[in-house]
């Protein structure tokens, strides 16, 4: 290893509403040494995901909150630089949960080795990782898409929404995306192949969504909440399914929205339309992991699933990128990357939005 | 037949809020004559169920509303008095959907013949009919009770709630009922064998419910909504299931309840606790009908499922009984019965609350 310093981003304080840069602190610590049974990992890609907002709060949730002063947690892809454990050698690429830092010492348990010849290593944090698995399992296990049905998903240019819609298309559904702005909508229909995409910022969003769903909505894959749900709700067909994997629009909310209590209205439709609403997190469907890697890997190889990454250069820019993500400021799977690293084999993509024409699977292929 | 008049109760107008007697009209019409392929049915028991409130409104629901001037629909048990169709002879007992009237002409399709030696014929409208099947299918297919879990159900002295709790006990759950008043609660624990029953009219209802559910709630079988749901909501465990078959407390509501919009709060818990909320009506699980009759018939025979009927004498009293039902005024499966009928073999029960010690299956056994 060449560095002597391990930079880390810690949770400095809990946000009240939208996170601010003050909620984070950047510290420099010595690069740790691996002990027996451990290896040292140099992190190349750090994932930046909406669920991390939940970990910053101490409200009860499905996992414990991040402690004040702890490193912000999250998925990461790195390379082994020193190993004192069998099965992991210097140079190996690994998927770990090392969070927002540059180095970490790991034990093998829970670590997935990556084959850089099979797929760009960054995809282990996106379409072939947690977001892709969330899309795959939530759609197939809860959404249960059937030929000829209509699916709606928001954040459709992102790694979850984009994958949901493309799998729905493979299953014979009409896929209608929701995204913020004309550029994202054009990407969702033009590159990802959705049947339609509606800009949720348009003044007549609800009318446009209704026009895009002439046969109603059979599956609403809920990852945002807010006014997208409000527009979806009256369009739901009998027996519609609503997998709930996220509620981005509400993560920063400190107050309920104004207006009457709509909970009874929801239950009325749950009853009269026989709706299914089910929350899940990706680990609930761990048993489908092998199916996921097989199916989505094949679909990527066949060009039937595409994706886009939004790369931020440098760990120090992670908090700002995360704050922007919660407002829809990203365009694709948001990742922070270390400073250029000559041995990294994956295709590199810039924040200017240049799009990876997947599949980029050939081991000899290199990006800019 | 001896009567020359068929009395019918029609929907006279749509209620605004709670139904009133003015919403119904009693008319006298000639007893109809069966044509070829038809039989004439004399109705003995007319079911009075909460779902009928929905049919009185023209709001969109899972079935079309009752037309103004039409007979109030509903399940009924009767006896064939004249037949012009093979397979149905005078004297046969039948389950039909003839609603609030005294005679009707039927074709065989959808009619179930009843064996009065197997079970009291009234049970075809209760524990062995639509309410029992609602309990059985909703609990097993959506609630998925597991040994050691806690189930909560309201209207626990009624035919759905009472059956839900008893089946949950058979499946190894802790069954906690909710009912209105000490007498009903004593019946639910003493006669139906629930582990606990909480009076929802008590001032400290939420605290009492929490005390009755020390390990939280894994299944909430939703049939009432309102303040029962509010008390249940914070007690739900991760992966809790909420089958939704009814919302009695809201059927007469014309306004949303006061207070903030709790819909986002619900979705937050759907996500963080990975809840499943699913509406259904009994016909969604038609494929389980044979299983239901086999299992619940056996459990009644073994004394493991008990029930109570609340009999109103005379068709003319049906509207008042129905209006009372929506406020919890019944105590058990509410049925309207024709004036005493000497040939009827089922055990008779009075509105004074006398309880049928089931099983009452011996054909020679007669009630008062």
Banded pLDDT at A363 (limits 50, 70, 90): very low
Is the pLDDT score of B367 beyond 70?
no
Q: Check CB contact of A274 with chain B, cutoff 8 Å.
A: yes
Contact status of A64 with chain B (Cβ, < 8 Å) = no
pLDDT tens for each residue of A178-232: 999 999 999 999 999 999 999 999 999 999 999 999 999 999 999 988 899 999 9
List the single residue in A with minimal CA-CA distance to B250.
A264
Average pLDDT taken over every residue of chain B: 89
In chain A, residues under CATH classification 3.40.50.720 are: 144-299
Averaged pLDDT for residues A349-364: 34
Q: What is the pLDDT of residues A44-61, one digit of tens each?
A: 999 999 999 999 998 877
Most confident of the ranges B62-66, B324-328, B337-341? B324-328
Check CB contact under 8 Å for B277 and A278.
yes
Query: Between chains, do A281 and B260 touch, taking CB under 8 Å as contact?
Result: no
Q: What is the pLDDT of residue B138?
A: 97
**In DSSP terms, which residues pair with B79 in a beta bridge?**
B42, B93
Question: What pLDDT was estimated at residue B345?
Answer: 40
Q: Is A238 on the interface with B (CB under 8 A)?
A: yes
- Contact check, Cβ <8 Å, B62/A238: yes
Whether B368 has a pLDDT exceeding 70, the answer reads: no
Q: How confident is the model at residue A250 (pLDDT cuts 50, 70, 90)?
A: confident
A254 and chain B in contact, CB less than 8 A: no
Looking at beta carbons, which residues of chain A come within 8 Å of B269? 279
Residue among B65, B264, B283 with most chain A CBs within 10 A, to mutate: B264
Tell me, what's the pLDDT at A360?
28
**Secondary structure (3-state) at A103:** strand
Distance separating alpha carbons of residues A292 and A304, to the nearest angstrom: 14
Q: Which two tokens stand for residue A55?
A: 């970990």
Tens-digit pLDDT profile for residues B315-327: 999 999 999 999 8
Can you give chain B as a three-state secondary structure string?
CCCCEEEEEEECCCCCCCCCHHHEEEEEEECCCCCCCCEEEEEEEEECCCCHHHHHCCCCCCCCCCCCCCECCCCEEEEEEEECCCCCCCCCEEEECCCCECEEEECCCCCEEECCCCCCHHHHHCCCCHHHHHHHHHHHHHHCCCCCCEEEECCCCCHHHHHHHHHHHHCCCEEEEEECCHHHHHHHHHCCCCCEEEECCCCCHHHHHHHHCCCCEEEEEECCCHHHHHHHHHHEEEEEEEEECCCHHHHCCCCCCCCCCCHHHHHHHHHHCCCEEEECCHHHHHHHHHHHHHHHHHHHHCCCCCCCEEEEECHHHHHHHHHHHCCCCCCCEEEEECCCCCCCCCCCCCCCCCCCCCCCCCCCCCCC
Question: What is the pLDDT confidence band of residue A274, given thresholds at 50, 70 and 90?
Answer: very high
Q: Which residue has the higher pLDDT, A173 or B2?
A: A173
Give me the count of residues in chain A: 368
pLDDT digits (tens, 9 = 90+) for A136-179: 999 999 999 999 999 999 999 999 999 999 999 999 999 999 99
| ipTM given for this complex | 0.86
Residue B341 contacts A, CB cutoff 8 Å: no
Q: Please state, for a pLDDT cut of 90, what percent of chain A lies above it.
A: 77
Tell me which chain A residues have a C-beta less than 8 angstroms from the C-beta of B263: 261-263, 265-266
CATH 3.90.180.10 placement within chain A? 5-126+307-337
Res. B333 pLDDT band, cuts 50 70 90: very high
Coil vs helix vs strand at A22: helix
Tens digit of pLDDT for each residue in B126-164?
A: 999 999 999 999 999 999 999 999 999 999 999 999 999
- The answer to whether A256 contacts B264, with C-beta atoms less than 8 Å apart, is yes
> CA B358, CA B361: separation in Å to the nearest integer?
8
CATH class of A5-126+307-337: alpha beta
What pLDDT shows up at residue A346? Answer: 41
pLDDT level of residue A368 (50, 70, 90 thresholds): very low
Contact status, residue A137 vs residue A291, Cβ threshold 8 Å: no
Ramachandran quadrant class, A98 (left: phi over 0; alpha: psi -120 to 50; beta: rest): alpha
Please tell me which residue of chain B has the smallest CA distance to A249: B264
- Taking an 8 Å cut-off on Cβ atoms, the answer to whether B276 and A275 are in contact is no
Output the pLDDT for position A109.
Answer: 94
User: Residues A72-128: pLDDT tens digits?
Assistant: 999 999 999 999 999 999 999 999 999 999 999 999 999 999 998 888 999 999 999
Q: For chain B, where do the domains classified as CATH 3.40.50.720 start and end?
A: 134-299
Question: What pLDDT score was predicted for residue B105?
Answer: 97
| Confidence check: pLDDT of B66 > 70 | yes
Domain A144-299: state its class. Answer: alpha beta
pLDDT at A31 over 90: yes
What confidence category does residue B362 fall into, taking pLDDT thresholds of 50, 70 and 90? Answer: very low
**Band of residue A262 on the pLDDT scale cut at 50, 70, 90:** confident
Nearest partner of A252 among B268, B269, B270, B234, judged by Cα: B268
**What is the enclosing helix (H) or strand (E) of A80?**
strand A76-83
Say if residue B37's pLDDT is above 80: yes
pLDDT averaged over chain A? Answer: 89
In this structure, are strands A112-114 and A93-96 parallel, antiparallel, or unpaired?
A: antiparallel
Q: pLDDT tens across B167-183, in order?
A: 999 999 999 999 999 99
Q: Which pLDDT band, with edges at 50, 70 and 90, does A278 fall under? A: very high
Closest CA to A85 of A35, A32, A33, A31: A35
pTM, entire model: 0.88
Q: Is B363 on the interface with A (CB under 8 A)?
A: no
The answer, for B181 touching chain A at a CB cutoff of 8 Å, is no
pLDDT of residue A264: 87
* Pairwise pLDDT comparison (A275 vs B265), residue with the higher score: A275
Kindly determine whether residue A247 and residue B267, on different chains, have CB atoms separated by under 8 Å: yes
pLDDT (average), residues B221-232: 92
Residue A271 to residue B279, Cβ atoms within 8 A: yes
A273 touches chain B (CB under 8 A): yes
pLDDT of residue B172: 98
Least Cα distance to A157 among A325, A341, A360, A367 occurs for A325
For residue A192, what are the contacts with CB-CB under 8 A and spacing of at least 6? A156, A157, A162, A165, A166, A177, A306
Residue B6 has pLDDT above 50, yes or no: yes
Which fold would CATH assign to domain B134-299?
Rossmann fold (3.40.50)
> Residue A267 and residue B244: Cβ atoms within 8 Å?
yes
Instruction: Please give the pLDDT value at position A334.
Output: 94
List B253's β-bridge partners, or say none. none
Cβ–Cβ gap A261/B265 under 8 Å: no
Nearest to A61 among B225, B229, B272 (CB): B272
- Does a cis peptide bond (omega within 30 degrees of 0) precede residue A359? yes
Pick from A57-66, A355-364, B144-153: least confident: A355-364
Residues in B closer than 8 angstroms to A257, CB to CB, are: 261, 264
- Contact between B336 and B153 (Cβ < 8 Å): no
Helix-strand-coil split of chain A, %, nearest 5: 30, 25, 45
Nearest to A264 among B225, B238, B245 (CB): B225
* Per-residue pLDDT, A167: 98
């Amino acid at each position: 290893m060449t560095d002597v310093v391990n930079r880390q981003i810690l949770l400095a304080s809990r946000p009240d509403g939208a996170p601010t840069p003050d909620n984070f602190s950047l510290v420099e610590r010595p690069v740790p040494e691996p002990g027996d049974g451990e290896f040292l990992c140099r992190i190349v890609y750090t994932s930046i995901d909406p669920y991390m907002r939940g970990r910053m709060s101490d409200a009860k949730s499905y996992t414990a909150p991040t402690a004040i002063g702890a490193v912000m947690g999250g998925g990461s892809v790195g390379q082994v630089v020193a190993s004192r454990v069998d099965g992991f050698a210097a140079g190996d690429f690994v998927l770990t949960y090392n969070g927002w830092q540059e180095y970490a010492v790991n034990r093998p348990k829970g670590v997935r080795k990556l084959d850089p010849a099979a797929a760009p290593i960054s995809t282990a944090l996106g379409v072939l990782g947690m977001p892709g698995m969330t899309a795959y399992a939530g759609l197939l296990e809860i959404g249960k898409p059937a030929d000829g049905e209509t699916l709606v998903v928001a954040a459709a240019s992102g790694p979850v929404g984009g994958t949901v819609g493309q799998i729905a298309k493979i299953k014979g559904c009409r896929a209608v995306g929701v995204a913020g702005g004309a550029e994202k909508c054009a990407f969702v229909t033009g590159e990802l192949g959705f049947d339609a995409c509606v800009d949720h910022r348009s003044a007549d969003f609800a009318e446009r969504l209704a026009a895009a769903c002439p046969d109603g909505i059979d599956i609403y894959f809920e990852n945002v909440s807010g006014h997208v749900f409000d527009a979806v709700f009256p369009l739901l067909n009998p027996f519609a399914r609503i997998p709930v994997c996220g509620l981005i629009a509400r993560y920063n909310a400190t107050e309920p929205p104004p207006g009457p209590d709509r909970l009874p209205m929801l239950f009325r439709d749950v009853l009269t339309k026989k709706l299914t609403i089910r929350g899940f997190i990706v680990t609930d469907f761990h048993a489908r992991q092998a199916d996921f890697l097989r199916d989505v890997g094949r679909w990527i190889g066949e060009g039937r699933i595409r994706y886009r990454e939004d790369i931020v250069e440098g760990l120090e820019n992670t908090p700002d990128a995360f704050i922007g993500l919660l407002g829809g400021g990203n365009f694709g799977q948001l990742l922070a990357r270390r400073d250029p690293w000559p041995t990294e084999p994956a295709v590199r993509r810039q924040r200017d939005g240049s799009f990876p024409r997947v599949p980029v699977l050939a081991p000899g292929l290199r990006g800019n």
